[in-house]
């Protein structure tokens, strides 16, 4: 079952691959900050009418050494058929891209993490034809947030850590520390990371704890009914338009999209909330700033 926690647990790697640092360090690979990382299509479907999709696939090209693919799967519980699916993903990606594949499983609890480490074997008698061993990111190797400075220095890792440790008895204290650390952010940055965390905790016992800690406004995941979104919709139209404009520019900048001056002026001068909402939605997937303004059936103009 696809949940908000599941989606956030792998999607964060697409926008913030620095969260892979624990895996890189454990494997003795160059840290992702020194590598070019590109999100690839997660579609692993062949001609046969059987759809298979990896949660997230990243192509890593280090500044030195050979490239590789990282297939990331968010797993919240044991699954009887997942081992064979993971084996297929690795074999398919290896054959398609001719690159070695690192399979990373993200787990929030230790029993699931222990199971996800495998190995998942294709065995005939005493002969193993294939063995799949995922690298697990879970409570035992994702660092716990111990001070506010970590939130300031590494907000992506801090957010990811809070989600991974959301089943811990220390989760409320961790979230309180995250909330205090985010007070040093500018308004747009705080909105961005608070929204990531609220959606990521949606299916966990501490979601309400986090909602109580949120005292800011804005939205990054429209339509989720988050506290940010509820507060945002209650604000004045002028303030809402200004906040939405800031978020559109923020998302484009975070995604490495160039914003020409003409596009920036068009975004900042717009006061129509419906138009800004459309542009915001498009900013999450656009490959160029001009795509925000493309005419189409959903264009309110």
pLDDT in tens, 113-158: 999 999 999 988 888 999 999 999 999 999 888 888 888 888 889 8
Where does the pLDDT of residue 28 fall: very low under 50, low under 70, confident under 90, or very high at 90 and above?
Answer: confident
Could you list the residue range(s) of the whole structural domain that residue 81 is in?
A: 4-137
Please compute, for residue 265, the number of CA atoms within 13 A of its CA located in the half-sphere on the CB side.
3
Over the stretch 223-246, which tens digit does the pLDDT of each residue have?
A: 555 655 555 455 545 566 777 788
Q: Are residues 185 and 79 in the same domain?
A: no
Residues 195, 272 within the same domain: no
Q: How many domains does the chain have?
A: 3
Please tell me whether residues 14 and 58 are part of one structural domain. yes
| Domain assignment present for 155 | yes
Return the closest-CA partner of residue 164 out of 136, 138, 197.
Answer: 138
pLDDT of 10 > 80? The answer is: no
| pLDDT higher than threshold 90 for residue 45 | no
| Residue 159 · residue 200 · CB < 8 Å | yes
Examine residue 220 and state whether it is found in any structural domain, yes or no: no
Over the stretch 265-301, which tens digit does the pLDDT of each residue have?
Answer: 999 999 888 888 889 878 878 889 999 998 744 444 4
Which of 177, 212, 247 marks a domain boundary? 212
* Whether residue 185 is found in the same domain as residue 130: no
Would you state the pLDDT for residue 4? 56
> Is 87 in contact with 22 (CB distance < 8 Å)?
no
108, part of any domain: yes
Residue 181 in any domain: the answer is yes
132 in the same domain as 96: yes
Tokens 């204290």, residue? 173
Between CA 21 and CA 28, with CA 22 as vertex, the angle to 5 degrees is: 85
Kindly indicate the confidence band of residue 219, based on its pLDDT and cuts at 50, 70 and 90: very low
Q: Same structural domain for residues 207 and 260? A: no
């Amino acid at each position: 079952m696809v949940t908000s926690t599941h989606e956030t647990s792998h999607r964060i790697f697409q926008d913030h691959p620095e969260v892979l640092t624990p895996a890189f360090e454990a494997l003795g690979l160059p840290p992702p900050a020194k590598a070019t990382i590109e999100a690839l299509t997660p579609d692993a479907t062949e001609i046969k009418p059987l759809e298979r999709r990896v949660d997230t696939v990243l192509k890593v090209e280090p500044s030195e050494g050979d490239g590789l693919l990282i297939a990331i799967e968010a797993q919240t519980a044991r699954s009887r058929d997942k081992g064979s699916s993971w084996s297929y993903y690795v074999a398919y990606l290896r054959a398609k891209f001719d690159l070695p594949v690192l399979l990373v499983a993200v787990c929030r609890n230790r029993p699931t993490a222990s199971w996800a480490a495998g190995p998942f074997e294709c065995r005939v008698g005493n002969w193993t034809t294939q063995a799949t061993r995922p690298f697990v990111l879970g409570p035992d190797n994702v660092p716990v947030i111990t001070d506010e400075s970590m939130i300031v220095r590494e907000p992506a890792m801090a957010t990811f850590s809070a989600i991974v440790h959301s089943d811990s008895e220390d989760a409320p204290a961790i979230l309180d520390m995250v909330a205090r650390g985010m007070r040093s952010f500018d308004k747009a940055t705080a909105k961005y990371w608070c929204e990531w965390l609220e959606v990521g905790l949606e299916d966990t016992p501490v979601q309400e704890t986090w909602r109580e800690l949120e005292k800011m406004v804005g939205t990054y995941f429209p339509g989720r009914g988050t506290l940010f979104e509820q507060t945002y919709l209650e604000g004045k139209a002028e303030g809402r338009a200004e906040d939405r404009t800031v978020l559109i520019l923020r998302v484009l900048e975070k995604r490495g999209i160039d914003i020409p001056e003409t596009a920036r002026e068009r975004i900042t001068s717009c006061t129509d909330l419906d138009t800004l909402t459309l542009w915001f939605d498009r900013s999450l997937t656009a490959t160029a700033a001009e795509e925000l303004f493309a005419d189409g059936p959903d264009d309110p103009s």
